[in-house]
Structure 1
Amino acid sequence: MPEMRFVIVWPDGEEETCYSPSLIVKEYLAEGQNYPLSDFLQRSGEALSIASDRVEAKHGFPCSLARNQLAYLEARGNTYSNLPDAIVRCQHFIF
């Protein structure tokens, strides 16, 4: 299963590299696209959940790295929930 990384920019301008065990993220996020925080969290949550499920289907156990990445994104995203126009940018993909 091909894995990938995707670089995002949080509302405060900090860049972060995120992990996915599957290329499914490309179906939910686009390079160079800005997303409202809630939309980004929903999209990345769906993509990482599917990625983890794919690992489970293939290997018999879910992907803890994908689950941990999702938990981290949700926690970090909550720190910006007080910003009404918080935007997360998907900078680019790394294969």
Structure 2
Amino acid sequence: FSGRYVNEKSAGQYHCAVCGHQLFASSAKFDSGTGWPSFDQALAGAVKHEEDASAGLKRTEVLCANCGAHLGHVFNDGPQTTGQRYCINSICLNLKKDH
């Protein structure tokens, strides 16, 4: 697997790489074994969801609620805490580490 944040374990907040909007807390990140940074929940109001039927698949696209940038997709096969797996592209994120 590749991607800057796939194996990242640092505490902090993940922000949109386009506009800097806060999206995910590092405490929501988990290893899904998929090769993408995965989170079980987004920060309240941080993202919006749209149905995505491209590539012959029915998925839910995740967009930055502030600028509309594509972040990845959310699936209903995540941990028991929420049942959700936000599968996010590393290139769409910037981590601001806690000090």
After TM superposition, is the score higher than 0.5? no
Q: Which structure carries more strand by proportion?
A: 2
TM-score under structure 2 length normalisation = 0.29
Q: Which has the higher contact order (CA 8 A, sep 6+)?
A: 1
